[in-house]
Amino acid sequence: MTLANGLIHFSIIDYLNALPLNMAFKDGLFEGQVDLTFDYPSQCADNLASGRCEVGLISSIEYQRIANLRIAPGICIASRHEVRSVLILTRKPLSDVKTVALDRFSRSSVALLRILFHRRFGFQPQFITMTPQAEPMLAEADAALIIGDAALRALPQDVDHIDLAREWNRDTGLPFVFAFWAIRRGANTAAVCDILNRAKAYGMPRIATRMDDIRARWPLPENDILDYFHTNIHYDLGEPELASLALFYRYAEEAGLIKHPSPPRFAT
């Protein structure tokens, strides 16, 4: 909703992978224009669905579950090969996995995992939703889905680490789109898209110069952080990403996760 003071309410992910898109907001570049809520991906989608915000950085599957949205053109969080921050941990071959502990905070990754089981093995394991902590998850289930910052931390080394973006690329030859900006009907889309494009242009060039601050928040080796942004993640929503979204939505429908997928519609 647009607040009584005229501010546009944004719901934003505060994971490392979203930093190039949200740094400008954190730095106050849009002070006086926006009101911010930082949330997990699933909560961003719930905020958008309920009208608690006008603009949300949401998991790509949520576009099919929330009515009257438009996608901000040209911007996403995607990976062409390995993403490193969306992992299945398991001590068994995937074909033998009967139970999977899920990170409750991302829905696109869960949908992608369900699609993988449906298409490769023709069955769905039992899914258990848990707090994203690898050891407790693996104590309860044959495999664990870990996403975001939790996946970038030190993880057990006596298990297989299966990168879901790599698996998608292996099967389709396409990047995988994890998230994008979505805008509710009735919002000032021209103003919103201007803000989002300026934020994107602001963030990435400043990553290398903000390393001390970034590592204070995400205590990872500097080279790992730089490699993550320049090799594992990209932020351009182009033709390969749109082709991937169309295929993802088709596979999600075939797996029974959504009904009658809508084609992406963009804000203007």
Q: What are 71-120's pLDDT values in tens digits?
A: 999 999 999 999 999 999 999 999 999 999 997 777 899 999 999 999 99
User: What is the value of pTM for the model shown?
Assistant: 0.94
What pLDDT sits at residue 42? Answer: 87
CA dist 168 and 165 (Å) reads: 5
Q: Nearest 5°: phi and psi at 47?
A: -65, -40
Domain ranges of the chain: 8-79+176-254, 86-172
Provide the sign of the torsion angle of the four alpha carbons 89, 90, 93, 96, taken in this order: negative
What's the topology of domain 8-79+176-254?
D-Maltodextrin-Binding Protein; domain 2 (3.40.190)
What's the topology of domain 86-172?
D-Maltodextrin-Binding Protein; domain 2 (3.40.190)
* Residue 147: pLDDT over 70: yes
Arithmetic mean of pLDDT, 153-175: 93
Residue 220: pLDDT band (50, 70, 90) is: very high
State the Cα angle at 179 between 147 and 223, rounded to 5°.
55
* Residue 3: pLDDT over 70: no
Arithmetic mean of pLDDT, 2-21: 86
> What's the whole-number average pLDDT of the chain?
94
Task: Confirm whether 8-79+176-254 and 86-172 share one CATH topology.
Answer: yes
Residue of 102, 100, 159, 150 whose CA lies nearest to 125: 100
The pair of three-digit structure tokens given for residue 16, joined into one six-digit string: 């490392």
The pair of three-digit structure tokens given for residue 59, joined into one six-digit string: 């998991």
3-state helix, strand, coil in the chain (%, to 5): 45, 25, 30
- Tell which wins on pLDDT, 154 or 61: 61
